Amino acid sequence: MTYKRSKYFTTSSKRKIKYLFIKKNSKIAVVFFHGFMSNMVGAKPIAIQKFCRKQKLNFLKFEYSGHGKSTGNFIKGNISKWTNEAKQLIKSKIKNNKNLIFIGSSMGSWIALNLFPFFKKQIKGFIGISSAPEFLEDLMWKKFNKKIKKTILTKKIYHLERGEYTYPITKQLIFDGRKNKILNNTINLKIPVVLFHGLNDEVVPLKVSKKIFQICKKSQKKLIKIKNGNHSLSRKSDLKRICTELSRIVKNQIVN
């Protein structure tokens, strides 16, 4: 059902990006950015999609190259490429007179924050879910032992096993991450920024969300700590709270 109205967008580098765009007669467009090795058919994007359809809001979700059903080899992807793909797609599908609300999940928050300078006149709100900007350096490289680092530097790839998943971590991915540092930047947009973080998040520590607040100098900030919440924050109660905050941002836009 979710893929029924999905299409492909061809980027300037000829990668085909799977996306779904719900077009409504609204001045607001919600854009969802999924996480690392995730896709656009998880519980969060589906819940937000249903909310937007019900509220008659424009909604865009997509899969970066090498993810989901988009083309491209995952191990050739990186933050720069995925950010650029997202930028091209948003510019192509959403008119520049629309007010944007970005929602980022884990790595998706990094991609979304990367795009703030490009869409600063349009962005009217941001929701981060288990946000993980700069995770490649702070949560991976700095925690890797010498053996893993050596493998990445010499063999150019290391297969990181976490739980039931295996993540191929490449040298170029790590090095590209260093070119995309955002936690030393300043975001001067007077917009609502709502961050959700599970207190049982086993992947990203709470301090990362707090670091995002430090760079959002003029924003109306709200940190929602989810008791017993893990990294995914995909329980029905989590999804309900996310949509409630999205509703508040939308209503604020309508009023103003």
State pLDDT tens for residues 198-222. 999 999 999 999 999 999 999 999 9
Question: Which pLDDT belongs to residue 24?
Answer: 94
Domain end residue (candidates: 179, 194, 210): 179
The reported pTM is 0.96
**What count of residues does the chain have?**
256
CB of 153 closer than 8 Å to CB of 133: no
Mean residue pLDDT across the chain: 95
pLDDT for 100 equals 98
Question: Are 108 and 233 within one domain?
Answer: yes
Report the distance separating Cα 193 and Cα 174, nearest Å: 28
Res. 2 pLDDT band, cuts 50 70 90: very low
Distances (CA, A) of 203 to 26, 122, 136, 234, 247: 36, 31, 12, 15, 28
C-alpha 138/C-alpha 150 separation (Å) is 17
Whether residue 22 has pLDDT greater than 90: yes
> Phi, psi (5° rounding) for residue 179?
-85, -10
Residue 145: which domain range? 135-179
Angle 29-176-6 from CA coordinates, rounded to 5°: 35
The SS3 of residue 30 is strand
Where a domain ends, among 146, 179, 212? Answer: 179
The predicted-structure confidence for 51-110, as pLDDT tens digits, reads as follows 999 999 999 999 999 999 999 999 999 999 999 999 999 999 999 989 999 999 999 999
The count of structural domains within the chain is 2
> Buried (b) or exposed (e) across 208-243, using 16+ Cβ within 10 A?
bbebbeebbeebebeebebeebbbbbbeeebbebbb
Q: Are residues 142 and 173 in the same domain?
A: yes
pLDDT tens digit sequence for 149-193: 999 999 999 999 987 889 999 999 999 999 999 999 999 999 999
Same domain, 109 and 161: no
Q: What is the mean pLDDT of residues 6-30?
A: 96
Is the residue at 114 inside a domain?
yes
- The reported pLDDT for the residue numbered 1 is 35
Per-residue confidence (pLDDT) for residue 72, from 0 to 100: 96
Token reading at 81: 């490429």
Q: How many CB atoms lie within 10 A of CB 172?
A: 15
Among 118, 147, 179, the domain-final residue is: 179
Task: Give me the percent of the chain exceeding a pLDDT of 90.
Answer: 93
Q: Same domain for 89 and 115?
A: yes
If asked whether residues 113 and 25 sit together in one domain, one would say yes
Structure-derived torsion over alpha carbons of residues 32, 231, 224, 45, reported in degrees to the nearest 10: 20
Domain match, 15 and 49 both: yes
Q: Give the number of other CB atoms < 10 A from CB of residue 127.
A: 27
In one letter, which amino acid is 55?
A: Q
pLDDT at 4 over 60: no
In-domain check, residue 249: yes
How much is the pLDDT for 254? Answer: 66
Helix (H) or strand (E) holding 132: none
Q: What is the pLDDT of residues 111-154, one digit of tens each?
A: 999 999 999 999 999 999 999 999 999 999 999 999 999 999 99
Q: Per the domain annotation, does 59 fall within a domain?
A: yes
Region 234-253: mean pLDDT is 95
Residue 190: inside a domain, yes or no?
yes
Q: Examine the domain organization and report whether 65 and 154 are in the same domain.
A: no
